[in-house]
Amino acid sequence: MMQSENILDEYTIDFKAADIKSEIERITNANQHLASDADVLKKIFSCIDLTTLKETDSADSVTGFVQKVNDFKEKYPDMPSVGAVCVFPVFAPIIKQYLKVEEVQKAVVAAGFPSSQTFLDIKVMEVKKAVSFGANEIDVVISVGEFLEGNYEFVYEEILQLKDACGEAHLKVILETGAIGDAQLIWNASIIAMDAGADFIKTSTGKIPTAATLDAAYVMCKAIKAYHAKTGRKVGFKPAGGIAETIEAVNYYTVVSDVLGEVWLNNTLFRIGASRLANNLLTDVLRIESGSLEAIKFF
């Protein structure tokens, strides 16, 4: 049973959906200069979940991927490390064995990612196995179809069980906002996920045509703010999917800054999921700091 039968009645949207785009325009227009601020770009870099989720991933390719993270500080000592590496669950033992940078978290997608269309006991088992093999962050997707049909209690109970299966590991719950679309529904999904125990709420898998959007980010951050005001618990936010360019990352950073404030602007409460963004941020930091015009392709 949901902790409160009418949990959604306790959290009503305090903004107009029609105003979302103008609010985003206000926020982003006021902060375009941050794309030229090396310190801001480094902070965003430190919040990246460096991800490889390809059908062609193998033990060898993931080992090489992790080794790049290990080698990064030696080549770029003035840059922070990324926030986490994120891989398929079968590669959890690889990141446990080979990742040597202590501050980089070990994230795994699980529970039938990316569709979430499998049996709950298999989802729970996959999460437990990933954690037992060394993952300390688990990214799961809500049952989007059940959610869209209004079966909120089903979605809530599933997240509750997956959170329990995580043990000490953090649970990042993906709403797949591109499939949900509507601002009120994104708000509802955010509240349900947080109330069921999510440590982070995340926009997207990156596996469907519409991934992260600033509209969805704004709604989710507003929901996080409302949840924190009522419960005192800080839930993290992660936009993911299709974010490749520096200015795109800066825009998400500024939405978080405007809605949630400076306290959320660190990698314990803000992550950004991207596989291409790291190289672009690195290129831009080096351009700002040293005038280098070389396009970096380290990762």
User: Annotated catalytic, 222?
Assistant: no
Which letter does DSSP use for residue 201 in this model?
E
Please identify which residue in the block is written with the tokens 């959170």: 163
User: Annotated catalytic, 139?
Assistant: yes
Distant-in-sequence, close-in-space partners of 139: CB < 8 Å, separation ≥ 6: 86, 107, 108, 109, 110, 113, 172, 174, 202
Q: H/E element holding 189?
A: helix 183-195
Q: How far is CA 244 from CA 169, 230, 248, 250, in A?
A: 28, 34, 7, 11
Of 106, 123, 128, 202, which is the active-site residue? Answer: 202
Determine the Cα–Cα distance for residues 33 and 67; give it in Å rounded to an integer: 34
Determine the Cα–Cα distance for residues 34 and 250; give it in Å rounded to an integer: 7
Cα distance between the two ends of the chain: 44
Of 49, 139, 195, 215, which is the active-site residue? Answer: 139
Selection from 185, 247, 250 nearest residue 216 by Cα: 185
Q: H/E element holding 148?
A: helix 144-148
**What SS3 state is found at 125?**
helix
Contact predicate 114/156, CB 8 Å: no
User: Residue 207 is which amino acid?
Assistant: K
User: Annotated catalytic, 60?
Assistant: no
Secondary structure, 3-state, 25-56: HHHHHCCHHHHHCHHHHHHHHCCEEEECCCCC
Catalytic machinery residues? 139, 202, 238
